[in-house]
Structure 1
Amino acid sequence: MSNENPEHSEAGVYRVKGQSFNRDTNYIEDRILDEPGAEWPVEAGRYRLVVARACPWAHRTTIVRRLLGLEDAISMGICGPTHDKLSWTFDLDPDGLDPVLQIPRIRDAYLKRFPDYPRGITVPAIVDVPSGGVVTNNFPQITLDFSTQWTRFHRDGAPDLYPEALRDEMEEVMRPIYTEVNNGVYRCGFAGDQDAYDSAYDRLFAQLDVLEDRLQGQRYLMGDHITEADIRLFTTLVRFDPVYHGHFKANRSKLSEMPALWGYARDLFQTPGFGDTVDFVQIKQHYYIVHTDINPTQIVPKGPDLRNWLTKHGREELGGSPFGDGTPPGPVAKGEEVTEGNGVPVAA
C-alpha cells in the first residue's frame, strides 16, 4: 500500500490524489504473551497503552481495557484530539508531557525503539515503560490479546469478549465490518475522485443494510451478549452522525434513521464501558480540525444534538444481557473520566 501523503496517524491513514483511499496496515506485529520465554511477557505495570479519545481504532482498546478491568495492570496515556504532521501529542497533560513516559509525542516512543521508523506514527500503541519504546501498534491484535493473554488480571465478572466457540463465526462477521464499515467511512471521506467515492458509498451502505437486517432479530452481533465484534462496530457507529455523515459524505442515511442499528448503538452506549469512554467534543475536534483538505476552515460544527443517545432503545425485548453471567465494570478509573460536558449532557 502507498505511504505517500499521510493525512493523519489514526492507525495509518493515507490518500493519493486521484486514487482510491488506502490504509497502511503494516503494523508492528510484536505481541505481549503470557507464556514462558516470551520476548514481551504479560506483566502488570510494565506497559502503557497510549490512545486518543478521538480515534476509533484506539477507542476499541479503551473499551476492552475497561470492560475487562485491566486498568491496574495496564496504565493509559491519553493524547489530545489534534496533532501535527509528526504525531499525536500529550498536550492535555501538564507541561505537555505524558506523566509516565515523560515524552511530548508518541512519536518519541516509536523512535526510541526504531530510530529510523519509516511508517505512520499511530494510536493505539503499547509502550514498554522501562525502555520507553513501542512494543506494538497492531490495534486488532491488541484487543484480542487483552482478552486472551491478560486473563490473570481480568476483573471478577469480566465478560468473555472472544468466546472460543464463536471465533470462526466472529471473524466472518468482523471482516466486512472492518473492510466495509470501519474502513468504509474513510474510503468515502478520502476518495480521490468521484468514481472512488461512489463505489465506497455503495459498499458502505450495502454492509450497513446487512447489519441492520442482522440486528433486527438479535440484541448483539453474535447473539445474546456483547463480544469483540460489537466493540469494533460501535466505535464507528458512535461517530457516524457527528462526523461521518457530513464530514465524510456518508450521507444516504443518518444512523438515527436506521432503526435496528440506532437502537443497538444506543443500547451499547448506555452500557457501562461504552458511553462513558466517548468524548464527542474531542471526536469532532479531531476530524474537523485535522483534515484541512476536507474542511479547510477548520470550523467545528455545533451539531448535531446528541441528547438522543440517552433515549430509550427497547432492545431488552430481544432478550439477552450485555455481560452474560458476568457483571458490568465499576466506576471509571480516577483521572480517566471523560471531561464533564464532552459526552452527552446528563439532562437528556
Structure 2
Amino acid sequence: MTTTETAQKLPLHDIHEQAGARFGPFAGWSMPITYPLGVMKEHLHVREKAGLFDISHMKLFAISGPGAVALIARACPFEPGEMTPSQARLTFFLDDKAGIRDDLIVTRLGDTRFMIVANAGNAAADEAHLRALAADFDAEIEPLERVFLALQGPQAEAALNRAGVATDGLYFMHGREPKPDWFVSRSGYTGEDGFEIGLPETDARALVARLTSDDDVEWIGLAARDSLRLEAGLCLHGQDISAETTPVEAALLWAVPKPVRETGDFVGAEALRAAIMAGAAQKRVGLKPEGRQPVRAGATLYAQDGSVAGRVTSGGFGPSAGHPVAMGYVNVDLARAGTQLAAEVRGTRVPVAVHALPFTPHRYLRG
C-alpha cells in the first residue's frame, strides 16, 4: 500500500500546503484531497465559477517524427492522419484481448507532432508500451516534465484570460502549444467548460499566483474531482474501465470510428472486432440509488428476482445532482434507463434505478 510519506510529491506541493490542503495517496502520488473550503463547496464552486486542479500526476508524452501518425494509428483505435491540427480526441491503448490498458487524450499539434495525456497510474506502462511499438516506426517519444493544471467551470475562460493566457479560437477537444514548452487544451474531467495547461514549473508558479488571486478561482482537490467526473458520467481507469473491460461493454465504442473498427490494424483490432460481433454480456450504466444513502464501488447489484445483476464501480453523493450517483455494469437485458435493481450496502439491499448518463449536463464550448 502506498502511503503519503512514500508517495511522490507534486512540484507545487509547497503551494498546496500553504493553501491548507489535506493530502492522501493516489496512483503513487501525494495528492491534495480537499482544501479548507471542503469537498461539497469545492464541487459547487466548479459548477458555478472556476476551480483550479493540480493534475501534475498525469503524464504528457510528445510524439514526433515522420512515423508519428503511423505509430499512433498502430497504438490507438482511430485514424490520426485524419485529424486537423489542434484537434484532440479520446482514445485508448488496448491489449491483445481488446482490454482497455489506458484511456488517453491525443492532440494533433502539427503534421508530425502529437501530444498524449496519460493517466498517472499507467504512465510507466504506457511509455514502455509506446517504446516497444515505436521500434517499427520512425518516431520519437518524449516524456515531458511539466506541471499540469486544470481550470474548470463557467468562469474558467474569463479567469484564464485575466491571468494572461489567451484562449481565442480554442474549442472543446482542441489544443495548441502557444509558446515553447507550453501546452493548452480546452478539455477536462468535470463536464464543465475548461482548460488543461502543461507548462514549466517556474511559469506554473507565476500562473498559479495570478489565478489564485482571482475571486472566481478556488483550489479544488481530488475528492471533488471524483464527484464532478462521476456526475458527468466520466470513467476512472482502474475502477470503471480496465484491462478487464473492452470498449464494447464500457459503452465507449463511440470513440472508435466505424471504418477503423472494421479494417483498422491497431493493437487489439481482431479481438475488438470479435467482441463487437459477440456483443457484450454486461454494459456500463448510470445508477441512481433511492433516498440519500450513497452506494459505493464494489457493491453487488441484484435484479428484482434476486439474481445477481452486476456490480457498482463508482459511487458517491452528487452535490449538483442533489442525490446519490453511481456507475456500474449490469446485464445487458437490464441496462435500460428506469430498470429497478437493488444494491447491497452493509447487508441491506437499497433500491437503485438504472439512470441515463450524465447525471448533470455537459457544458462544453464546441466550435
With normalisation by structure 1, the TM-score equals 0.31
Higher-Rg structure is: 2
With normalisation by structure 2, the TM-score equals 0.29
Higher strand proportion: 2
